[in-house]
Amino acid sequence: MDNLTSMSGFLLMGFSDNHELQILHALLFLVTYLLALTGNLLIITVTSLDHRLQSPMYYFLKHLSLLDLCFISVTVPQSIANSLMNNGYISHGQCILQVFFFIALASSEVAILTVMSYDRYAAICRPLQYETIMNSYACRQAVTAVWLAGGLSGLMHTAVNFSIPLCGERVIHQFFCDVPQMLKLACSHEFISEIAVAAFTTSAAFVCLVSIMLSYICIFSTVLRIPSAEGRTKVFTTCLPHLFVVTFFLSTAGFEFLHPPSDSQSAMDLMFSIFYTVIPPTINPVIYSLRNEAMKAALRKALSKGEFSQRKMYLKAIFKF
């Protein structure tokens, strides 16, 4: 402990000091990471190659899967490596990069979920103007704004957080460089600027949440007026997975960032951090594919023997060229 905390980096306490439990944690995280990797890559591939999945909804879903893939890759591989090596040390530079990409991708995820809810609102509540509202140019602009907003948020948090002088041991009671936990290391009254940035980003997230809620209020009021039970079922099948993802991600992330960080390692803190860092990127592909007939048909086609052979020949031709 003394040797590690005397360095310029940080010590991530992780889940346990017991090496056997660390190995178990690494294996569980590895399985989860491979599932998330496979599921999100499948969605990205299918929505890119299947001509039937070129609507704005699937365009945004593709970017959500790309964000999920990057988001889980920021924290989980580092945690697996630390557990296997029985060494929680992370360098100062690695921590800076982790904080930047974590905040940037989390902010982008909130933004893309907001855009997706507006897309569902336009499709259900304003069907006659949908193609005009969500044209290809508007979709590209929305996705560009999502990535830029996330990058700006990550840059602000990183610049402010790592300009604060730290006091005491550089021990973080998490499995990654968590901003609320890092603020505990700041010298007294030196983190006002970080609180201001956090207040700004929290306000932006609240605006996104209100926008999502208003979109779904309009959607459900429109759906309840549909006379056909089949039509209502079809709409609910499209919207409920997205609503579940939004609720789960924002509620767990909000609890983790808004409640005061504990002075010691807390099982609840670790559990909630897993809920918004690991679980959403893993279950999102299942949620969006399980009840979507078009996605299931496209996945079956992509995984069929004939289709797989065609893709393989296509990739061989590209690499040969």
Asked if 230 and 243 touch (Cβ cutoff 8 Å), the reply is no
Confidence grade of residue 118 (pLDDT, cut at 50, 70, 90)? very high
State pTM to two decimals: 0.85
Q: From the CA atom positions of the chain, what is the Rg in Å?
A: 22
Which of 119, 141, 139, 140 is closest to 130 using CA atoms?
Answer: 119
**Whole-angstrom distance, CA of residue 140 vs CA of residue 98:** 27
Lowest mean pLDDT among 18-27, 183-192, 254-263, 283-292: 254-263
Confidence grade of residue 3 (pLDDT, cut at 50, 70, 90)? low
Under the phi-then-psi rule, with left for phi > 0, alpha for psi from -120 to 50, and beta for the rest, what region is 14?
left
Residue 12 — φ and ψ, nearest 5°? -90, 120
Lowest mean pLDDT among 33-37, 154-158, 240-244, 274-278: 240-244
**pLDDT beyond 70 at 81:** yes
Confidence grade of residue 114 (pLDDT, cut at 50, 70, 90)? very high
In 63-197, DSSP assigns E strands to 89-90, 171-172
